Amino acid sequence: MGKIKIHEIAKKLGLTSKEVLEVAKKLNIEVKSHLSGVEQDEADKIEKEISKNGATKQEDTKQADKKSDEKKETTKKDSEKQEKKKSDKSEKSEKTKKE
């Protein structure tokens, strides 16, 4: 069987290639990029290590997603406030011109 690419392992586990690369390097497996290939036994070691720590990765991802969503909501509200201010100023300006 051929070598397994880092990005394939990442896709299978629902992680980024960068995360898989970090684990592989921690296990002293020689990899340079997401296109690096590893033997099946090395891929198994990587997967085992990730599954051992998997719960914390998923928790970190959930927390990061939650923070991102909160930030997007705040930005959206700020944009809506700015649009309302512009609209109010525009209406006020038009009233002043009419008088």
Q: Can you give the residue ranges of every domain in the chain?
A: 4-72
Confidence of residue 98 (pLDDT cuts 50, 70, 90): low
Q: Tell me: domain 4-72, CATH 1.10.10.2480, correct?
A: yes
* pLDDT higher than 60, residue 85: yes
Greater pLDDT, 23 or 67: 23
**Among candidate residues 54, 53, 52, 20, the one with its CA nearest the CA of residue 37:** 20
User: Using an 8 Å Cβ cutoff, are 50 and 20 in contact?
Assistant: yes
Model confidence pTM above 0.85:
no
Q: What mean pLDDT do residues 56-70 have?
A: 60
Q: Which residues are paired to 4 by β-bridges?
A: 38
**9-13, 21-25, 65-69, 81-85: the lowest-pLDDT one:** 65-69
Burial class for 7, CB neighbours closer than 10 Å (0-12, 13-18, 19+): middle
Question: Within its chain, how far is the Cα of 13 from the centroid?
Answer: 14
